[in-house]
Amino acid sequence: MTLWYEWSFDNQEADGEVKAHIRVPADSPWFDGHFPDAPVLPGVAQLGMVHDLLCRIYNQGLPVRQVSRVRFKQMIHPDQALTLTVKAGDADASHSFRIAGDEGLICSGLIRLGTEKQGDR
């Protein structure tokens, strides 16, 4: 998987949390035009990082089925040091996540991966 950001991956903690340390370089295409004089990382890119980490945990590319309770509390700027923490549940459960920086919580929410099952509509 080719990533548009840099990360180092920590092993799973005893409480089931998995952490990744992330930095999005200033030349990332996500910052182009968003916004010209004050670049910030769009929310969809933040959710993409969460999806990438979960795909790595499960060692497969599962689609996103549902995103809920997402709160964007701060903006992410180029080259900012971030810690992404995912509390992975069972494969078809919702997984809680949070992205934090030096100033505290940036984003949090729940995400569910997997394929649609019969009767899940």
Prediction pTM value = 0.87
pLDDT-derived band at 93, boundaries 50, 70, 90: confident
How buried is 46 (Cβ within 10 angstroms: 0-12 exposed, 13-18 middle, 19+ buried)? buried
Q: Which residues of the chain form beta strands (DSSP E)?
A: 6-9, 17-23, 64-72, 81-87, 94-101, 104-113
Query: In the predicted model, is pLDDT for residue 120 greater than 60?
Result: no
Query: In the predicted model, is pLDDT for residue 2 greater than 80?
Result: no
95 and 54 in contact (C-beta within 8 Å)?
yes
Distance in angstroms (rounded) separating the CA atoms of residues 63 and 58: 12
Residue 109: count of CB within 10 angstroms of its CB:
20
Distance in angstroms (rounded) separating the CA atoms of residues 114 and 92: 6
Helix (H) / strand (E) containing 46: helix 43-58
Strand partners, 97: 86, 109
